[in-house]
A and B are shown apart, each in its own frame.
Chain A
């Protein structure tokens, strides 16, 4: 900062602002205009993109449900309301906040099992899986990882290693994770963990066990009601 030049005759120094002074109004106007234009652009593109994004997500979820329920003929969405599963939602409930499970049917409209999505913290960030479960036999029908940021090449084997994923198509719950060399082939509760991805394998097993511990009675209740 340079000090203003001293004046002769003892007059007070001039209070005129420096030459490049910009009024506060012009600063505000610039930012407000930029903000308004930015908002407009974003709203226009959002209007185009949002329905497509929703559609893509619905398709992905549908494909995942079909995969873990072994290609059911039909599928219903059930909501967990007040500790019970129901297809009809009370009018005042917020659909987005309700937990939901999906019930698949075969051609004769007999239920084949529930698809349940659940997540738990993994090695890095939440691992979300969806799995198919038949309450009558307490057997899993399939498992698919729908969201994970596990280490590429190691932890991400929980979704890419087909021999790991295949085990969840027939295992009995509750699951027990074991090292491959200690596995007892007679025990259908046992699931091989992946060498080098122990934490990630354990997360998948824990997620399924915890979700069933929480939802199992509700699912049993719904199945008993239906009969």
Chain B
């Protein structure tokens, strides 16, 4: 197998789009469904996950030469758990209300498979710089998904955005969107939209590639 070399830009963009951890790989669904009931919660969770992801990738990649294969998972989880503890304590000290709203889910970042997957699939095999870029890409990919989910759920479920009321008093919030079923509905619709959009892009690319493009478009 030939080694596929990527550019730094590709390292970042991969996690944001083509290999988006949530929307494409369907990893880390627990926080995506559980804490996206408001934009503020989504943002805080994303910042914490981003910090843990980048920190862990940096450390794992820096010390990969000294970590024997047999204890690598134990060591990675220890590194991840340390960063999670730091994030947890910092959030509690700096933004107590948000920390209270996130509840147990900050601690659960330890078992977020996005993070362990990036360590195993990338940081353990690549240089520090590229591992950090890869982590930044995946972190942004996760953040974008969380913000999409959080915005839809807060606007429909509470009629507000970041706590600011968007509609008049006559608006009756769709409470279900802030409840767990709303998380599933929202994720389902977001994935559905992306699948439809991707199909459409593919079809358009095919039409453009066809020699008699105009005729094919008519047939389609």
Contacts and interface: CB of A to CB of B under 8 A. Distances in A.
Given A30-B71, A49-B92, A50-B89, 4 more contacts: A20-B69, A30-B66, A31-B71, A53-B89
The B interface is mostly helix, strand or loop, or mixed, namely helix
The A interface is mostly helix, strand or loop, or mixed, namely helix
A30 B67 contact: yes
Contacts of A45: 85-86, 89-90
Interface in B173-219: 173, 175, 178-179
A37 B56 CA distance: 13
A226 interface: no
A27 B71 contact: yes
Contacts of A37: 82
A41 B93 CA distance: 16
Interface residues of A, number: 27
Q: Which are the 8 A-B pairs with shortest beta-carbon distances? A: A153-B175, A38-B82, A52-B93, A49-B89, A49-B93, A22-B68, A56-B96, A152-B178
B146 to A, nearest CB: 17
A49 B85 contact: no
- Interface size for chain B: under 10, 10 to 19, 20 to 34, or 35 or more residues? 20 to 34
B61 interface: no
Interface of A: 20, 22, 26-27, 30-31, 34-35, 37-38, 41-42, 45-46, 48-50, 52-53, 56-57, 60, 149, 151-154
Interface string B45-59: 000000000000000
Contacts of B157: 153
Contact of B86 (A31, A41, A53): A41
Contact of B82 (A22, A42, A57): A42
Contact of A53 (B37, B67, B93): B93
B96 A60 contact: yes
Contacts of B68: 22, 26-27, 30
B179 A42 contact: no
Contact of A27 (B70, B94, B96, B175): B70
B70 to A, nearest CB: 6
Contacts of A27: 68, 70-71
A57 B97 CA distance: 11
A35 B74 CA distance: 10
Contact of B92 (A22, A34, A53, A153): A53
Contacts of B128: none
17 contacts: A22-B70, A27-B70, A27-B71, A30-B71, A31-B74, A34-B75, A34-B79, A37-B82, A38-B81, A41-B86, A42-B89, A45-B89, A52-B93, A151-B179, A152-B37, A152-B179, A154-B175
B110 to A, nearest CB: 12
Nearest to B90: A49
Nearest to A149: B103
B78 interface: yes
A152 B175 contact: yes
Nearest to A26: B68
A120 to B, nearest CB: 19
Nearest to B80: A38
